[in-house]
Amino acid sequence: MPVYVRSLETAVPQTILVQQQAREVFASQPGLTRLGTRLVSTCFDSAAIDTRYTAVAELSLDAHPENPRFFDPETNRVLSPSTKVRNEIFATEATKLFIEAGKAAVAQAPGIDLDDITHVITVSCTGFFNPGPDYKVVRALGLNPAVQRYHLGFMGCYAAFPALKAAKQFCVADPTAVVLVICVELCSLHVRTSNDPDTIMGSAIFGDGAAAAVVSAKELSGPEPSIRLDHFETVLTPVGEEAMAWNIGDEGFEMVLGSYVPHIIEEHITGALEPLLAKEPSLAGLPYRDITHWAIHPGGRSILDKVESKLELTQEQLVPARETLREYGNMSSATVLFVLKYMMERPASEQEERICSMAFGPGLTVETGLFTLVSPSL
C-alpha cells in the first residue's frame, strides 16, 4: 500500500543571525585563547552558511533587553544562562513553531481537514516539557482529543526518519489514518562561548527551525506534488559512538561533534546504502548519481563534501542540501525536511522521480530513505 507525504511546510523564528556578524561577536569574547579565536574564524568562515534563525530574540544585535540572559549588547558578551532558563524559553517558543508548522501543513494538504488527523508525532532534541508539544498541538489546532499522540525526544539530527517511518507504519496498519509529523529544534538555545572545538563548531552551524508533514495512504486527487515513502533503513556504523553525542549540562545541552565525523561518514556511507538499495535490485547496481535526487541532511559543509565525493554525485544533486545549509544552517531533525520541501517546490521533469535521502546522528546512526517525488500535473 503506497503511503505519501501529502504536504510539507516549514517555519522559522523571526530573528535572523547573519553569519559574519555572529563570527565577530564570538571571536571577540573574553577568555578565548589565540587558538580559540582562530578556530572561531575558521569554523564560521568555512561553514558555507550565510544566515540562520533563532528563537532567542535578544541574540539580535538590534535587541536591547533590560535584563539580558543570553547576550549583553552593551558589553558584547555572550552569557551563560542555566539549563532551566534555556528550557523555559524552549517550552514557550518551540510551542509556537509546533503549532505554526502543523497548522500550515494541514492547511496545504489537499483533501485533508483538521478532523481527519488520527495521529500526531512530534520530534525535538533541544528541550523538554510535559504536557508536551504533542498535547499542545492537539489543543491549539482543535484536533479530536482521542488523536493518538507520540513524541520522539533527544534522538538528534536523524529523528525525522523514525517519525516518517512510524507514520508510514500507522497508515499501512490503518488505511484511513492521517498522521501529522512535526519536527521543531531550537538549537540556538544552547549556544555558548568556549575554546572547545566542538562547542565552537556548534555555535557556527546550528540554527532554529520547524517542519511539518501530513502523511496518509488515502487516495487524493489534485495537482500538488507529493512524496511516496517507499523504503527506510537504519544502520549503526562500527565506530563513531563518541564522535557525535548530545549531553545535558548545567548551562544548556552540550554538543559533541568530532572533526572525524565526516571521515566516518565517508568510510561507511556506501555500506549504509546497501540494505536500502537492495530493496530495489534495479537500483542496487547503478551509479549513485543515476538516482535523480539526493536529500542529504546538511550536518555541515564537510559532510556534504564527503558525500558528494564518495558517491560521485553531481554538484546539482547537492544543491538542495547546500542551499538549505546556506540559508538556515543545521536545524537538527527538521533540516532534512527543509531539503525535501526544496525538492517538492522545484519544477519536475518527470511524473515520478526517485529520491535517496540520508541523515546522520549520535551513535553514529545513519538513517536512509528511498522515496518517489510524484507530480500529478505532468
The model's pLDDT over 3-58, given as tens digits with 9 standing for 90+, comes to 999 999 999 999 999 999 999 999 999 999 999 999 999 999 999 999 999 999 99
Residue 347 has pLDDT above 90, yes or no: no
CA distances from 217 to 173, 226, 228, 343 (A): 10, 11, 9, 21
In the prediction, which pLDDT does 219 show? 79
Q: Is the pLDDT of residue 68 over 80?
A: yes
pLDDT at 259: 75
* pLDDT value for 211: 98
For the ranges 152-156, 196-200, 210-214, the lowest mean pLDDT is seen at 196-200
> What residue ranges define each of the domains in the chain, with the CATH number in brackets?
226-374 (3.40.47.10)
Question: Phi, psi at residue 62, to the nearest 5°?
Answer: -90, -10
Q: What is the mean pLDDT of the chain?
A: 94
**With 80 as the cut, is the pLDDT of residue 87 above it?**
yes
Could you tell me the pTM of the whole model? 0.97
Question: Does 157 qualify as catalytic in the annotation?
Answer: yes
Residue 117 has pLDDT above 80, yes or no: yes
Range of lowest pLDDT (42-56, 122-136, 216-230): 216-230
Write down the pLDDT at residue 61.
83
Mean per-residue pLDDT for 79-88?
96
Q: Would you state the pLDDT for residue 260?
A: 75
Q: Which of 43, 125, 157, 187 is catalytic?
A: 157
Cell of 317: 544533486
pLDDT value at residue 321:
98
Q: Among 137-146, 154-163, 252-261, which stretch is predicted with the lowest mean pLDDT?
A: 252-261
